[in-house]
Amino acid sequence: MGELANCSRCNGLFLKGSSTVCPECRKQEEKDFQTVYAFLRRKQNRTATVDEIEAGTGVSEWQIRKFVKEKRLHPAHFPNVSYACEKCGASIREDRLCDLCKDSIQKGLDVQERNESLEKRKEEEREKANRTYYSW
């Protein structure tokens, strides 16, 4: 059984299932998707940017980028459609982060791992130095 939730678009109450929006907003999203997809299927519009799609369809930029993020619109078919990196806001076509942010995070993790390894070695050396051996 679903739980009671507020729609992320209209803030109305609904029983939450697999969607984060109420059935009415879901219908509107589907209608918006069909509008955008029909626009992009026309040969002259296949290379349209998000701003051009928004102007041509009346569907919000946020909703268009959400369709790309959900992989309902594939950037391979529509080369100028993208969305923002979740860290820096750069325009990307796949994943959640741009390559620069991924590299930055990976370098930070590598540094942290090296620091932890050094701390562990120092702790082990201190333990060895503090051992007392008894001989009978």
Q: Which amino acid is at 112?
A: Q
List helix spans (H) across the chain: 23-41, 50-57, 61-69, 99-129
Residue pLDDT, tens place only, 90-101: 988 888 899 999
Max avg pLDDT among 53-57, 80-84, 88-92: 53-57
pTM for the model stands at 0.65
Q: Which amino acid is at 30?
A: E
Identify which has the larger pLDDT, 132 or 21: 21
In this predicted structure, which of 14-18, 64-68, 73-77, 122-126 has the lowest mean pLDDT? Answer: 73-77
